[in-house]
Structure formats: structure tokens, C-alpha cells
Structure 1
């Protein structure tokens, strides 16, 4: 507790850090030069993959996601990778605040016609969350809930321990998450419109599986959001 308090005080008082990646910045700046230059997702957006239609490869895919639409502010490359790695693996929990702020801007733009009943997030297994000390997607969802004034719901639990998604093909990712999530007993999704939060979207398999679970429990619609989207490998 004391250690966490000192860390929070040192973050705010002794130095000023970039609100996305956590690098030290001048007191007059809230964001480092690299993060200011990070490539955002602009132009006409594909609702299935969340990327600019200039980058979209959905026409070559045979798998339609279960969510209605996805949006994200950044591509997963360069300084954005560093920012996410620091949040996920190095304890830079404060990064979630700046990430959620950027996501909120995108959500307000892309989903301005949607009235969400609840914001939820992709769960971690108990063992993985215990080892890390937190769920990075939940940290982001908590901030989004306050910014967007939409209730936060602890909707899902991990039904079994599946291997991490990274370094797997799109097909392996879909198989890896099949049946991996279920809804907590105290949750009733019937008639609700959800916004599901994840940190990074690669193939969308995890978000799609979560959306499928909500659909099976009677949710009206599910939309998705992430901080960053990884571009597919071009062959």
C-alpha cells in the first residue's frame, strides 16, 4: 500500500510523464513527441476490422465477427507498442488513463448514435490476473465508464485457462478462445447494448467470442473497442 502510494506521488510530483507511454516529459507537456506523432486510424473506417479502408483486408476473410462494429484510435506499431507493453507487463497502470481518453474520443465519434447500457471488458484468468496484479483492459474500461458516463459491468469470467493469443495464427486464435468465456451468475445481458473493451485487437477473435457469448444470453447488440489495432501481415 505504502509502495503504491509513493509510486503514485512520484509519478505526479517529482516528474511529469507522458500519459500514453510513461516516458518523462517536460512539465509543460502532457505527452512525449513520439506519442504525439503516433499514427492514428483516420479516413473511412471498416466497421469489421476497425482499420482505415485503405489498410483493410476484410474482403479476403471468410470470418465475420460477432460484434456489430469495432473502433480504436491507434495502430499497434512504434511507440504505441511500447506504451502497451509498459501497461501490460511493467506496471505502468497510469498509462490506462491517457489510453482511455484517446479511446473515448474515438468512441464518441464512431458510436455517437449508440446508447450503451453497459461497458465491459475482456477478462483474464484468475492465475494470470493474480500474477500481473491487475487486468489492463479493466483499468481502461473503468476510466471509460467514468468518461462516457456508462455503467461498468463485470460481465465475464474465464471458463478455462487457455494459452496466450500472441504468436498464434488467425485460425489458431479462433480455436483457442472458443468456449473460453462465460457470463457471471449475477449478470443478465437480456436486452442490453454492450461496449466491450480490449487492449489490442489483432484478429478480433477474443472480442468476437465475447460478443457471441453475450448474444447467446440475449443481449441486443455488442460493439467493441480497443486502444490499438494490429495491421495484418502483408504477403
Structure 2
């Protein structure tokens, strides 16, 4: 495309960073801040998903019910702004760039695993209506498209629990216990799942989802998030 035309289009329809949505230069997909976001390396800790140099699982008292958790980024720097815009500022289009990064991580870390389904952390009807969408579903949908594994809406919220934000690890586990169930008539027995969420903090939410699937006979549950605290 002619460079003058490109610049005119950029003036009226500027390119946006695929992660945080900030304006970027022509030809760029990421802004400088997102490009410098700390990334999680290959072969991280199975339990916490962090690089082994950051892992503190030896001090943990609980073993998660999932097999493993992976993510492309730490919840630091511009990733925090990206997640906040995605979740709280109606920027659902950011699911595309975030989901692509997650899909790359899934391919790299889970390449030898045959998933039967991708599923996602559910949201209550009340909260989803207020937000307009379930961010975990949007990410799961993008990952499903990228890696060719069918998407399954497996969970519903059994009750409206308080948000997990700003709660201690112990309170998070108590708060989420029994909050999810599998839809009636859904057969998950013997299936291997990839469970998607936007941010993993203590892992309580993902672990509870894995525990529910396990109770209905699922074979194994693996997890992926966009970022890990």
C-alpha cells in the first residue's frame, strides 16, 4: 500500500497494540511497553506456572487439582493495564491478541497432549450481564480457533460468590469452594480438558474447576491463563 495512503489511514484509524490497545506505529503489533513485558520461559513449574527461579511451591500447603498451569506473561508492567482494559473497560477485542499469545504457549508447553475439549471459568449471569461478556470465554474461543480443539461450555456458577480480588489465599479457597458445577447431562468421563482463565493468582479457581471435572470422571485437566501473579 502507498505510504501516503497508509499514513492517512493511520491518522483516522490508528493501529492498536494487540495486547493493551494503545496506539502503535504502522507495521507494529505491540507497543514498546507490552513488548518489554516479562515473559515466562519454557518448562515452568507445573503447580504455579512460574519460572523455576521464581517458584515458591515448596512453601505451599495445598496441591492443585489440575495437572499443570502455563501462561505467556507475568501479571506485571503493561500486562496489568491490558487485563484491566479487557475486563473492566469493555475492550473485548483484546481477546484476539491475548488468546494468540496463550495459544502459542499451549502449543509450546502442551504440544504432546491430545485435548478433547477446551473449556473456561464460568461467570454468573448477573456479573456477565453487567460486563457484557465472559473474558475467559472470549480467550477460550480464540485459543480453540487457533489450535483446533473444540470449545465446550462445561460449567455454571452454582451460587454468586464474592469476587476473588483482594482476598488472601485461604479466603480464595474458601470463597470458591462449591461455586461451580457441570451442566446436567454433560458427559466428561475419560476426557482431557484445557481450562482457560485470564489471570491465575493462587490457582484456587482453576483448581476448583479441575476438581469438579475430576469428580465427574474427567481423565486429566490442564490449565492456561494469560498472566500469572
TM-score, L = length of structure 1: 0.91
Unaligned runs of 5+ in 1: 1-9, 231-235
Corresponding residue for 1:18? 17
Q: Secondary structure at the match of 1:226?
A: strand
C-alpha displacement of 1:186: 3.8
| 1:154 lines up with 2:148 in the alignment | no
Corresponding residue for 2:134? 135
Corresponding residue for 2:5? none
Corresponding residue for 1:188? 187
Structure 1 runs, 4 residues or longer, greater than 6 Å off: none
Corresponding residue for 1:84? 83
Distance between the aligned counterparts of 1:180 and 1:107, measured in 2? 27
Summarize the alignment of residues 71-220 of structure 1 with structure 2, pairs less than 5 Å apart.
71-220=70-219
Q: Secondary structure at the match of 1:59?
A: helix
Q: CA offsets per residue over residues 143-164 of structure 1, 9 Å max, x none?
A: 0001010000000000000000
Q: CA offsets per residue over residues 75-116 of structure 1, 9 Å max, x none?
A: 001100000000000011111100111111111111111000
Distance between the aligned counterparts of 1:153 and 1:36, measured in 2? 32
Contact map agreement 2:42 2:109 (CA 8 A) in 1: no
Distance between the aligned counterparts of 1:133 and 1:93, measured in 2? 9
TM-score, L = length of structure 2: 0.94
Distance between the aligned counterparts of 1:63 and 1:53, measured in 2? 18
Distance between the aligned counterparts of 2:228 and 2:59, measured in 1? 18
Paired residues, what number? 220
Corresponding residue for 1:63? 62
C-alpha displacement of 1:43: 5.0
Unaligned runs of 5+ in 2: 1-8
Contact map agreement 2:43 2:109 (CA 8 A) in 1: no
Q: Secondary structure at the match of 1:85?
A: helix
Q: Secondary structure at the match of 1:15?
A: coil
Mark the CA change 1:220 to 1:199 in structure 2 (over 3 Å): closer, same or farther: same
Distance between the aligned counterparts of 2:60 and 2:122, measured in 1? 26
Contact map agreement 2:37 2:78 (CA 8 A) in 1: yes
Corresponding residue for 2:44? 45
C-alpha displacement of 1:44: 4.2
Distance between the aligned counterparts of 2:42 and 2:152, measured in 1? 32
Distance between the aligned counterparts of 1:90 and 1:131, measured in 2? 11
- Aligned-residue CA RMSD (Å): 1.3
